[in-house]
Chains A and B, each alone.
Chain A
């Protein structure tokens, strides 16, 4: 396998590379008399089941690491500036503050880098911690209602965090396949 398939990339987020390869092989074997939708659905559901099992097996670690990442993103990243600069979007006119766009781009980039770092330093729990961090942001929004919305969290936290995680994960897979012959 020279290039990791989408299904393999997805499954290997939640289990080892070897087991993801074998699970994908099992699903391919069973899908010969089924549709592509069947295969895609079962890949998705299998990944979710594996994700849930990892969270259950490491509940305390995922909880603590998610909370720490959430605090990092909302407090430290902005060095004392009010958490989630997007709140300012509701108070200032964007067209008069081009700097705000630069700041939002930096916010996006920082979340992307943190997502990648989670996979780099927590290969077995990275994606679970990323999802946990997003859950904390949503919970904070619902409980404290600090003025930002689900769309804000989706654009500035969830999307770049997950994109960063998947990007680094895919890089790691290519490295494992090409250099180390892991499969």
Chain B
């Protein structure tokens, strides 16, 4: 138990936070909406369109708070519009840490799927 090993366990391992499945979906939706602007409504619509599932607003906002707490997204306040009753929007963008987490998850999936034919008829 050297100091560097203890540091690795406490600090470095903490940085390598894994993503839940829905967190990955959220991050990818936010990345896709990079130019159009990712906020609660657009993120929810993007997920509904791309994945054919309808996340509840509660699931979206709690996941956004969790991602922000992990440092995977950053938010900023946007403009208020009459369509929203004069309430401002909160835009989200993925941070470098978030992008690294998505890449890591994608790499892990590719590694696990290598050599498998799970969509083939022979798989039981």
Residues of A bordering B, CB below 8 Å: 1, 15, 18-19, 21-30, 32, 42, 45-50, 52-53, 57, 183
Contact = CB atoms under 8 A, between A and B. Distances in A.
Nearest to B58: A49
Contacts, number: 76
Interface of B: 39-41, 44, 56-59, 61-62, 65-66, 69, 77, 80, 83-90
A22 B57 contact: no
14 contacts: A15-B61, A19-B65, A22-B89, A23-B40, A24-B85, A25-B87, A25-B89, A30-B41, A32-B83, A46-B61, A49-B58, A52-B62, A53-B65, A53-B66
A50 B87 contact: no
A26 B65 CA distance: 15
Nearest to B87: A25
Nearest to B62: A53
Given A26-B40, A26-B41, A30-B41, A50 B58 contact: yes
A25 B58 contact: no
B66 A46 contact: no
Nearest to A1: B86
A45 B54 CA distance: 14
Contacts of A22: 39-40, 77, 87-90
A26 B39 contact: yes
A30 B61 CA distance: 15
Given A25-B85, A25-B89, A28-B84, A45 B41 contact: no
A176 to B, nearest CB: 15
